[in-house]
Each structure stands twice: as C-alpha cells, then as structure tokens.
Amino acid sequence: MRILASCLLLSTSTLLLSEEKSELAPTAKEKYDFTFLPETVAVYQGEELSNSDFLKLLQPRLKKLVSQIQNRVKLRDICLAFLDDYYKRKANLDLAYKSGLSINQGLAELELSALEEKIGKLELEQQFEFTGLDFSEAAKFYAESKIINRYFSEQVFKKVTVSEADALVYYFDNEKSFTKEESIKIVQMFFPFGDELTKKEAQKRAGEALKDLSAGQEFSAVAKKHGSSLSLAAEESSQYFSEAELRPSLRKSFKLKVGMFSGALESEQGIHIIKVLERRAAGILPFKAIKDKLIQTLVKAQAMKELKENILLQLKSSNFKVFIK
C-alpha cells in the first residue's frame, strides 16, 4: 500500500504545499481562463493567499485534472474544491498542534529513506508528485500527515464510545441494510504460484492433497503435509461469503454441501482447494453475528463526524474566508 494512501484526510485532493518551490508553467495562464480569481483568493488566521501564490499551489492539481477542465465553470469548481481541501488540512494540522502533538521530521526522513531503499527513489518521488513539492520537502509533508493521523486516533477516535444498546437501536432502525444473501463459511488450502512453486508444481501438490482428502484424511493435516498455506477465510462468525463475493474462479465451491471439499480451483494467484464449513440461509443477519463489527463502524462514523465538526470550528475561529465568486 502506498504510504500516502493511509494518511487521514490525505489524498490527491488534500494538499499542504510550499508556496515557494512550485512554479506555474508558462502556458498555464494562457491555457486556462483565471480572470474570475480576485487578487486575494482566501484568508486564514489573518494570512492572505494571493492570486499568484494560489496558482502556484494549484498547478499540480491542473496536471492531474486537465481532461476534466472543459469550461470556466468547471475550473472555478476545481479551485473551490482545492481551497476547501487545502484549508481543512491546515485546520486539521493546527488542531493536532494545539493538542500538544509535534512533528518529528528526523524520524520521517529515516522512514522515507527506508522506503526509498525498498521501492526506489523514482517510485517514492512519484508518490509525492501530486503535491508539487520538491522531494527534499517530502519528509515535512509526511511528518505533518503522521500527526494528523495521531490527532484523529488519540484525540478523537479513542474518546468515542458506542454502547451495545445504541448499536442495537441502530440495527433495528436499519434492519433492511443487514439483509444477506445465502452465504458460506469456508476454509481453503492454497498453493501459490511464484518463486517457490511453478504452476506445474502447484498443480501436482494440489492433486496429491486431493488424493489424501479423498482417502479421508483431515483437511488441516493434509494442508500441513503438502506445505500448503492453510487459510480460514472466515475466522469470525460474521465472515460469510455470498456467491457474488467469491472470486469468479472459486464460485464452483458455493454449490458444495457442508463438509464437502472442491477440486483444484485455479485463480491468477495459485491453486485453491476449498471446504465448506457452514452454510447460512438468506435473510437478515442476527445482531449477535454483526455486533462487534457494527459497533466499530459506528464508532468510526461518529469519530469522523466529530473530526469534521472540530475542523469547521477551527476554520470559523480562524476567520477563514474564500473570495472567489
């Protein structure tokens, strides 16, 4: 997973950029009609964002969205969306600082150096390309992203609680959303293609495993004997799979009776042998089966709501204004 993808409120539309390093391409003003922009585009905590500085910040966004810019209205919408994301991130960062968190740029530099060794400098630079930052500034950007995440997890998420009673009320109020198709709980043996096994070797091992299963040997014992990766595809009672949720190459297993195992099923990753452990009829999932997952979902939703409210309050207290009409 890319390092940026995991950062809270951090995406190609959420930027915290240097106003000095990014230069506007000479043709940008000629190509796009920015005459609707005022001299001062926005203000936050008394700090004005000028027309020229805003265009420097926006330039990386234009490179990504060039195919979507069809007219002046669309360009205006892009500018407003950019400012919304940009200042929400600023406010989020200020909230993190106010809570006592501070960036550790030295640690961020070490982590990025380790990642660079692993994936290469070119790949790492591409991950930060959308920001318009020089690579030398990437560590600061990454360090700021980390404390934004910490603020959410330590100051917001950790303080939110949802009781079982509240979850039960939500469950009955939204009962239809917990309707499930017929589904199965499975265990699988997996022989992956790759460095250790060729496709032919994986097929051979799967064939030997099937012979042992047909002779009545235990599924887990056969998996261990043939060096397979044994995977409980459903370790929790809530983890059941409908036919549509299974990979197309594995859907034959859905028709198996409980206790039966499939033949060798081939996917792009390797050979699978699947055993059906349980089958659940279509209908509304019982509260007990989804309780823990539902509580987690509700806690996260409430935490995100509170974070958004905190950000809006920070923007309001900072006299944030956008002057684009």
Domains by residue range for the chain, with CATH: 4-158+308-322 (1.10.4030), 182-281 (3.10.50.40)
Query: Does 9 score more than 50 pLDDT?
Result: no
Average pLDDT over residues 97-111: 90
Query: Does 218 score more than 70 pLDDT?
Result: yes
Query: Does 149 score more than 70 pLDDT?
Result: yes
Length of the chain: 325
Alpha-carbon gap, residue 78 to 12, rounded angstroms = 13
DSSP code for 152: I
Q: How confident is the model at residue 120 (pLDDT cuts 50, 70, 90)?
A: confident
Give 322's strand partners. 42
Tokens of 49: 């964002």
List the single range of 44-53, 73-82, 192-201, 224-233 with lowest mean pLDDT. Answer: 224-233
The pLDDT value recorded for residue 135 is 62
The pLDDT value recorded for residue 237 is 40
Share of the chain above pLDDT 90, in %: 52
The pLDDT value recorded for residue 207 is 95
For the chain, the average pLDDT equals 83
Query: Does 23 score more than 70 pLDDT?
Result: no
Give 261's strand partners. 275
Residue with tokens 């407003």: 80
Average pLDDT over residues 162-189: 93
Average pLDDT over residues 72-101: 91
Q: Closest Cα to residue 57, out of 93, 83, 77? A: 83
Q: How confident is the model at residue 70 (pLDDT cuts 50, 70, 90)?
A: low
Q: Decide the pairing of beta strands 183-192 and 179-180.
A: unpaired
Structural element, H or E, at residue 191: strand 183-192
Query: Does 319 score more than 50 pLDDT?
Result: yes
Alpha-carbon gap, residue 105 to 179, rounded angstroms = 48
Alpha-carbon gap, residue 28 to 49, rounded angstroms = 19
Is the pLDDT higher at 131 or at 60? 60
